[in-house]
Amino acid sequence: AQKITQTQPGMFVQEKEAVTLDCTYDTSDQSYGLFWYKQPSSGEMIFLIYQGSYDEQNATEGRYSLNFQKARKSANLVISASQLGDSAMYFCAMRERFRSGAGSYQLTFGKGTKLSVIP
């Protein structure tokens, strides 16, 4: 079974509008971390936002916020006031705690959502 599910292969949003990118996850750990990364066409992976499983408040970073619903195991990314430069692939990822050695730091990535911002 997939550990990270991103059900939207592609999304369109009008410039200046808000958009929500969906992410659900599956883990039996109590302690875990959730990440969102942006990948422009250039190929680099840019860290956007992090949510820890024990964080009571939703994470926010500028125009990015994470809608964390722990009981539903969802960690949706909300981008407010979309800009043309937001057009990119977006990946949700999870780090689970209880692994040994290098596995402690391994992230599991979803398949990504391609966001296109329309002028």
Partner 1 sequence: SAVISQKPSRDICQRGTSLTIQCQVDSQVTMMFWYRQQPGQSLTLIATANQGSEATYESGFVIDKFPISRPNLTFSTLTVSNMSPEDSSIYLCSVVGQFYGYTFGSGTRLTVV
Q: What does the binding site for partner 1 look like in residue numbers (CB under 8 A)?
A: 33, 35, 37, 42-47, 50, 52, 91, 93, 95, 102, 104-107, 109-112
Name residues whose C-beta falls within 8 Å of residue 2's C-beta, 6 or more positions apart in sequence: 26, 110
Smallest gap from Cβ 41 to partner 1, in A, equals 10
Smallest gap from Cβ 117 to partner 1, in A, equals 20
DSSP letter at 82? -
The DSSP string of 15-66 is TTS-EEE--EE----SSEEEEEEEE-TT---EEEEEEETT--SPPEETTEEE
12 vs 16 by CB, closer to partner 1: 12
76 vs 112 by CB, closer to partner 1: 112
Smallest gap from Cβ 22 to partner 1, in A, equals 15
